[in-house]
Amino acid sequence: MRKSYGGGCHCGAVRFEATVDISAGTGKCNCSVCAKPRLWTVDVRPDAFRLIAGEAELIDYQFNSKVAHHLFCRNCGVHAFEWVDVPKLTGEKYFNVNVACLDGVDIDELMAAPVTYYDGRNDAWERAPAEARHL
């Protein structure tokens, strides 16, 4: 069921609202920038994401193809969300929200939801990696 969540970084400078159906599924990726913080995300459409506070506190880290904006809070370092601009793949910008940064997620709902694993390390987001237990 779609629900609206508040969310943000650790220090509270960055705050947002996201409307999303956790039960529809979450994602984990083995690429270099997702694997290090063991990022666990949920996709949020642009019209379902609203930054409330902290735009000036966000640092936009980009690398490689630079289609993804890996934002983090300059105060506490927490990576609460990122946005991706890959119109060739999805047709539109979308947000990856860090599930751990959403307030009040129902753990039973989260555990019951399917997890899609992405082999980003091999630029193969359409398939799961051979090993995903560590993600």
**Interface residue list for Zn ion (CB under 5 A):** 9, 11, 13, 73, 75-76
Compute the least distance from the CB of residue 52 to Zn ion, in Å: 13
Instruction: Give 70 or 129: the residue with its C-beta nearer to Zn ion.
Output: 70
Compute the least distance from the CB of residue 48 to Zn ion, in Å: 22
Compute the least distance from the CB of residue 125 to Zn ion, in Å: 28
Nearest CA to 83 out of 98, 100, 71, 99 is that of 71
Sign (positive/negative) of CA torsion 3, 90, 122, 129?
A: positive
Instruction: Give 31 or 71: the residue with its C-beta nearer to Zn ion.
Output: 71
Instruction: Give 10 or 121: the residue with its C-beta nearer to Zn ion.
Output: 10
Longest dimension (CA), the chain: 39
116: tokens are 């899609």
Instruction: Give 9 or 105: the residue with its C-beta nearer to Zn ion.
Output: 9
Compute the least distance from the CB of residue 134 to Zn ion, in Å: 27
Distance CA 61, CA 124 (A): 22
